[in-house]
Structure 1
Amino acid sequence: MDCNEARPLLDANADHELPAPDARRVQQHIESCDDCRRASENLRALSGALRAAPYHRAPKLLRARIVAGLPATLDEAPAVSAAAVARNDAPAQAGEIAAAGGPDLAAKAPRRQRRGSWLSTWLDSWLRGFSGSGGSGGFGGPVATGGAGRMAARGGLAALVIAVCAVAVVVTLNLRRPAEFTPFTDELVESHVRAQISGRDIDVISTDRHTVKPWFNGRLDYSPPVEDLAASGFALQGGRLDYLAHQRVAVLVYRYGKHVIDVYVFPQTASGGAARGTDGAVPAALAHDGYSIAHWDAEGMTWWAITDAAPDALSGLETALKARLRGGSERTEAG
C-alpha cells in the first residue's frame, strides 16, 4: 500500500472503523511512512479532542418547537406531563404546549391528539372485547370505562407485546445461528486473524512440500497431505502449528495474488462435532466478519480454508487440491 491508497483510509483507521485486513495494511504503511504517521497522529489527536469537548444541551423551548414541527406520530402531544395524560386533560395539555411554544402550538394540540388517537381507540375496543362486554366484565369498570385503570392496562399490553417480539427475535437468531456460524467457525476466524496480526503466521517457510511435510513429523499425531498448487495460482508458502477445537492442527499457508489463505487440516474423526451446528450440518461455504470460509473432506481429512479474498478463490483452491490428491502425487513420488 502506498500513500495514495493509505491517505483516504486514515480517518476511518483513526476511528477503528476499518475491517481487520484493511486496518492491518494501513498500519503497516503508517509504520514505514513518516508523513502518513504524522497525519494519523494528528487525526487521532483531533478525534480525542472532539470526544473530550463539553456537550451543549439545547434549551427545552427549542426542543419543544422542533418536536412540535414534526409530523404526527403514535405519541400524543409531545410537551405534556404524565399527570395531564393520565387524567385526559386536553386543556392542560394545550396550556403546557402554549407555554413552551406559543398559541400556534396550542391550537395544533387537539388536532395532533385526534390524529394520534387511533391506537388508543383500538386498545379500548380490544380491552372491551377481551372483557366480554361493552362497558364492564372481567376487567371491571375502571379498565373498561377509562381512567387510571385503563392507562395501566394499556401500559401492560404494550409491555407484553414488546416482550413477545423480543423473545421471537432472540429465538429466531438462535435457530439460524447453528446453520451459519458455530463456535468452531468463530474460533477459526480468531486463529487466522491472530496469526496475521502477530506477524508469525508461518513456522516453517518453504515452497517445497518435501520440506513442509516432514516438518510436521513428531509435532502432530497424524501426517497432513501437503501439495504445492503454484501451477493453479496457489503457491505454497509454508506451514505452522495451531491450536483449534482443543487440539493441535496443521495449517498450510498458501498465497493467492496478494491474499493469504490458511488451510487447516486434521483427520475427519477429530473435532468433527465441534465443527458442526446443533442440526449436524457443516456448511460448505460461508462468510464471517469479512472473511471467506470453505470446508470439504478429502483423503480421510477435514479441510477448512479461510481468506480475505473472494469466495471463488477458495473454490479454485479446493478444485486444484482435490485434483492433485486424486492424482496420488504423494504415492507416486514415494514409489
Structure 2
Amino acid sequence: MSACPDKALLIHGLLDGELDAVNAAACEAHLKTCEGCNAEYQRLVALRETLSAPSVAHRAPERLRANIEAMIASEATPQPQPRHGRRTAGYAATGALGALMAAGLAVFVVLPQVADNGLERQLVASHVRSLLANHLTDVATSDQHVIRPWLNGKVDVAPPVPELAPEGFPLVGGRLDYIDGRVAPAIVYRRRAHTVNLFVWPDDRRLVNGAKTVRRDGYTVVEWTAGGLRYAAVSDIDPGDLQHFKAVFEAHSPDPSH
C-alpha cells in the first residue's frame, strides 16, 4: 500500500520537526490509521538512521591526500614573472573586476527567483494546512454574492468570485489566509474530489512575464496577474486542469478596466 500523495509534504515536515503543534498532531493521527503513510514514515526514519551511522562515512585514500598536497606545494612555488608584468597585472585586475560585476549581476537576477520560490513553498503549505486543519472555508457557500460582501472590509482587495460549476469547478466558499506578509483571501473551488485554492493579493512586485506554472512536492501552482491583482491557484489536480481553471476563471471574471 502506497502513501497518500497529498501527505508527502506533511510526512517530511513531521520527520524534520517543521510542523506546528496542530499539524504535527493531525499528521501523527493520520499515520495511526493509514498503513501506507505510516510505512513511508518508518522508511524515512530508517533511512535517516542508516545515513547517520558512522560506518557509512568513507575515508579518502592516503594517495589522494598526497596528490592534493603535492598540487598545493607546486602552486605555492614562485613562478617567473612575465616581461610585461604590469600589463598582465592590469589584465588580471580587469578580469577580477569583470568577475565581480558578473557575480553582482547574477545576484540581481537570481534573488527575485529565490524570493518567488519561497512564496511558492508558502502557497503550497497554506493549501495543505487548509486541507488538514479543518479550515478550508470561513464562509461555506456556492453563492458568489455572499463571498464578496463577506470579504469587504476584511482585506484590501476585492477579487472576482465567478461561479464556475458549469465549467467543472464548483465554488465552495472562501476564507482568510496569510500570504506574502499580509492577510489575503483564498477562494475555494472543487474539481471532482480535489480542492483548488485560489489566493489573491495586490500585485506589488509585478510578476515577471505575467504568468508562470510551478510544480512543487506533488502540487501545481499557477500564478498570473490581472487588474493590479496577483493570483495563485494551488491544487494536486493535473497541471493541464489547473491551467484550464485559470482560463475559465479569467473568461468569467469582469474586465477590471471597465
TM-score, normalised by the number of residues in structure 1: 0.51
Q: Is the 8 A contact 1:259 1:307 kept in 2?
A: no
Matches within 5 A, 1:195-206: 195-197=127-129, 199=132, 200-206=135-141
Asked if 1:322 corresponds to 2:254, the answer is: no
Provide the residue aligned with 2:122 in structure 1.
190
Counterparts in 2 of 1:191 and 1:220: CA distance versus 1, 3 Å:
same
Provide the residue aligned with 1:128 in structure 2.
82
Counterparts in 2 of 1:83 and 1:314: CA distance versus 1, 3 Å:
closer
Look up the equivalent residue of 2:102 and give its one-letter code. Answer: A
For residues 153 and 205 of structure 2, the distance between their equivalents in structure 1, rounded to whole angstroms, comes to 25
**SS in structure 2 of the partner of residue 255 of structure 1:** strand
Q: Is the 8 A contact 1:295 1:304 kept in 2?
A: yes
For residues 41 and 73 of structure 2, the distance between their equivalents in structure 1, rounded to whole angstroms, comes to 53
Look up the equivalent residue of 1:225 and give its one-letter code. Answer: P
Q: Is the 8 A contact 2:127 2:234 kept in 1?
A: no
The structure with higher relative contact order (CA 8 Å, sep 6+) is: 2
> Could you tell me which of 70, 95, 103 is aligned with 1:80?
70
Residue 63 of structure 1: how far off its partner (Å): 3.8
> Could you tell me which of 285, 289, 306 is aligned with 2:211?
285
- State, as a whole percentage, how many aligned pairs show the same letter: 21
Look up the equivalent residue of 1:41 and give its one-letter code. Answer: Q
Matches within 5 A, 1:132-171: 138=86, 165=99, 168-171=102-105
Matches within 5 A, 1:1-335: 3-4=1-2, 30-34=31-35, 36-37=37-38, 40-41=41-42, 43-54=44-55, 58=59, 62-64=61-63, 67=64, 78=68, 80=70, 86=76, 128=82, 130-131=84-85, 138=86, 165=99, 168-175=102-109, 177-178=111-112, 181=113, 183=115, 186-187=118-119, 189-197=121-129, 199=132, 200-220=135-155, 223-244=158-179, 247-257=182-192, 259-265=194-200, 271-272=202-203, 274-276=204-206, 282-288=208-214, 290=216, 291-298=220-227, 302-308=229-235, 309=237, 311-326=239-254
The structure with the larger Rg is 1
Look up the equivalent residue of 1:319 and give its one-letter code. Answer: A
**SS in structure 2 of the partner of residue 128 of structure 1:** coil
For residues 231 and 115 of structure 2, the distance between their equivalents in structure 1, rounded to whole angstroms, comes to 14
Residue 190 of structure 1: how far off its partner (Å): 1.1
Counterparts in 2 of 1:50 and 1:177: CA distance versus 1, 3 Å:
closer
Q: Is the 8 A contact 2:3 2:36 kept in 1?
A: no
Counterparts in 2 of 1:63 and 1:202: CA distance versus 1, 3 Å:
farther
Residue 240 of structure 1: how far off its partner (Å): 0.9
Residue 170 of structure 1: how far off its partner (Å): 4.6
Structure 2 stretches lacking a partner, 5+ long: 17-23
Counterparts in 2 of 1:84 and 1:129: CA distance versus 1, 3 Å:
closer
Q: Is the 8 A contact 1:292 1:306 kept in 2?
A: yes
Residue 229 of structure 1: how far off its partner (Å): 0.5
Residue 237 of structure 1: how far off its partner (Å): 2.0
Counterparts in 2 of 1:176 and 1:319: CA distance versus 1, 3 Å:
same
Structure 1 stretches lacking a partner, 5+ long: 18-23, 69-75, 89-119, 132-137, 145-152, 328-335
Counterparts in 2 of 1:160 and 1:313: CA distance versus 1, 3 Å:
farther
Q: Is the 8 A contact 2:200 2:229 kept in 1?
A: yes
**Which deviations, in whole Å up to 9, do the C-alpha atoms of 1:228-270 show, x marking residues without a partner?**
212112222211112445543322112235553322345xxxx
Q: Is the 8 A contact 1:238 1:254 kept in 2?
A: yes
**Which deviations, in whole Å up to 9, do the C-alpha atoms of 1:31-77 show, x marking residues without a partner?**
42246525633541452254043566547xx441xx59xxxxxxx95
**SS in structure 2 of the partner of residue 318 of structure 1:** helix
Q: Is the 8 A contact 1:189 1:306 kept in 2?
A: no
Look up the equivalent residue of 1:80 and give its one-letter code. Answer: A
**SS in structure 2 of the partner of residue 228 of structure 1:** coil
Q: Is the 8 A contact 1:263 1:303 kept in 2?
A: no
TM-score, normalised by the number of residues in structure 2: 0.62
